[in-house]
Amino acid sequence: MSFSDISYMRRALELARKAQFNCPPNPAVGCVIVKDRRIIGEGFTQKTGQAHAEVMALRDAEKRGESTEGATAYVTLEPCSHYGRTPPCALALREHKLARVVAALEDPNPLVAGKGFEMLRQGGVEVECGVCSEEAEEINKGFLRRQRTGLPWVRSKIAMSVDGDTALANGKSKWITSEEARRDGQLWRARAGAILTGRGTIEADNPKLSVRVEGVDRQPLKVIVDSDMKLGTEYQIFHEGANLLVCAHRNEEKVKEFEALGVEVLELAGKNGKVDLKALIKELGKREINEVHVEAGSRLNGAMASEGLIDEYVIYIAPLFMGEGRRPLDLPQLSDMSEVKRLEFTGMEKIGPDVRLILRSKGCFE
């Protein structure tokens, strides 16, 4: 691995990040083609069913009037080897007579999983893997988690005051954080495959939970947890985009009303008359959801945390005190410090006047 390999791969990683909003459920991949120490082609994954990063980079080289024979491709994930919505990228690289392919990661998808590298080697292409692997892992942690375990990456976004409140005691919360923080929150929402919320949030705020990011036209599936089907069809979330209402007890009369609006109703009964949240996360994985973005109240957040279902927290802290208010998570009372839920800080950044913390889970409550 040379310094130039790292440099070109980091450019490919920058391109991969551009794909995150529109490519799910496919992985976000970037590709850079280099010849004679010059970048002659670049590309990243397009919308589902459209060209992958390698093909976009090959097309870019062709537009520039460059020959790819003898060139090196830097790609953030192993080129695919199977015919899916598009032909194999490994075959395209072979046909364009590249001499070398440098990848950040092997693709754990069973349809690929080393087969792309083997297809390249069979065509006489030199293959190297592992350059900037940790950075590449971060970009596609949802896709990689789902391929390895069948489960999506689950992230909870929370906005709160310095004294730890997400709303006043009367439930009012607009707006705790700044416009800059809310724009930043939209970017996390945009990269998700599903946005998960609960009945309490719908009743309190009547949100649409849609993505409002310029250049992004893909809308995630909206998943609403309502154990007893108490919500009515009048809430605006049910009148826009794809919705999945998850309950523990079906009300057939209401099911008909929701289905007439195009809302899917799924019954997943768990303990104590509540939705089985573990079964829900597994179901979302089966539906090719790579990342689940949670925007919910304290009860649903607390229930998911207690079951160890939240991998990551994105917490915006506003520089204000709200007095006695509502907590971000309802968690069980503990009697010993050995029982606490440990988290790890992985990011801290000032967003406008607010601070954004990123934390990851280390275990769960029993």
Kindly tell me the burial class for residue 202, based on how many C-beta atoms sit within 10 Å of its own C-beta (0-12, 13-18, 19 or more). buried
Phi, then psi, of 269 in degrees rounded to 5:
-80, 130
Would you call 54 a catalytic residue per the annotation? yes
Which residue bears the tokens 């049910």? 238
**Planar angle of CA 31, 61, 134, nearest 5 degrees:** 10
Catalytic residue among 14, 42, 54, 267: 54
**CA 297, 300, 303, 307 torsion-angle sign:** negative
Of 338, 277, 337, the residue nearest 305 (C-alpha): 277
| Letter string b/e over residues 252-284, b meaning 16 or more CB atoms within 10 A of that residue's CB | eebbeebeeeebebeebebeeebbbbeebbbbb
Token pair listed for 155: 């992230």
Query: Which residues on adjacent β-strands are paired with residue 3?
Result: none
The angle, 0 to 180 degrees and rounded to 10, between the axes of the packed helices 53-63 and 3-19 is 110
Catalytic amino acids? 54
